[in-house]
Amino acid sequence: MRAVNLLPEKHRPRKASGGQNGSSYIVIGVLGAVVVAVLVYVLTANSINTAKTDIAEAKAETTRANAQAEALGAYGDFAAVKQQREQSVKQLAGQRVDWERLVRELAHVLPSGVWISSAEASASGEAEADASGASQPADAVATGPSVTLIGCAVNQNQVADTLVRLRQLQGATDVTLDHSSQGDDGSGSSGSSGGSSGTCGTTAGKANYEFQAAVTLAPDASGGTPGRVPARLGGGQ
């Protein structure tokens, strides 16, 4: 006997047809793909936002660092000025010449019968005029601290001896003779021509010799113990 369903069509349970069994899987696959795409988009957007945040923080940190550097710039300039001044002081100290000691040593090295009538010292070797008032040559080259001496001697041998002994001065690197000439003895004659002012007087009726010499010194010529004259120049030990 065959069963008959007496329920109306709209109240009967639904049955999937054989041709529509795969449609539900397609829908599920599409929804899964959409979910994955949304997830990838969200992760990418978060990564971009994080990168933008890091960039903004880096720019802010750079701005703060620049502002701090500008605020400390004055201290950097002060340090540079300090270093420049220290270098200047060291340079000046390196060029120092103990003139007081030089004068005392000069008194020891001069031979008997020789005396100095005038002297002019230059710390840079660039004196515009010598002790006699004569201008230096235009092409003269400054070589260091120097002393220009004008003195008197009884004879030429004493002048030569003086030049040799001037080299014994502490720090002396060179000694040059400008001129050495005999002055007028009152009779209108002189032992050599020109260069003498006749202010050296006479000895035993003969006119003395006037000479001009220049002593070139090395920078910081004090050397040894400050304020002490070497024993070889008559000082104590």
Predicted confidence at residue 157, as pLDDT, reads: 92
* pLDDT, tens digit, 9 for 90 and up, residues 109-132: 999 889 999 988 887 654 444 444
Could you tell me if 159 and 176 are in contact, meaning their C-beta atoms sit under 8 angstroms apart? no
Q: How confident is the model at residue 237 (pLDDT cuts 50, 70, 90)?
A: very low
Q: How confident is the model at residue 193 (pLDDT cuts 50, 70, 90)?
A: very low
DSSP 208: P
Mean of the pLDDT values across residues 185-189?
54
DSSP 129: B
Neighbouring C-alpha atoms within 13 Å toward the C-beta of 110: 19
CA angle 183–185–190, rounded 5-degree value? 50
Q: Token pair 């001129």 is at which residue?
A: 179
**So what CATH class is 99-127+143-220?**
alpha beta
Predicted confidence at residue 230, as pLDDT, reads: 56
Task: Break the chain into its structural domains and give their ranges.
Answer: 25-93, 99-127+143-220
pTM of the full predicted structure? Answer: 0.48
Predicted confidence at residue 199, as pLDDT, reads: 80
215 or 237: which leads in pLDDT: 215
Q: How confident is the model at residue 158 (pLDDT cuts 50, 70, 90)?
A: very high
Q: How far is CA 114 from CA 2, 12, 110, 130, 155, in A?
A: 165, 151, 6, 20, 9
Averaged confidence pLDDT in the chain: 76
Rounded to whole angstroms, how far apart are CA atoms 127 and 215? 13
Q: How confident is the model at residue 77 (pLDDT cuts 50, 70, 90)?
A: confident
Predicted confidence at residue 71, as pLDDT, reads: 80
Rounded to whole angstroms, how far apart are CA atoms 209 and 180? 7
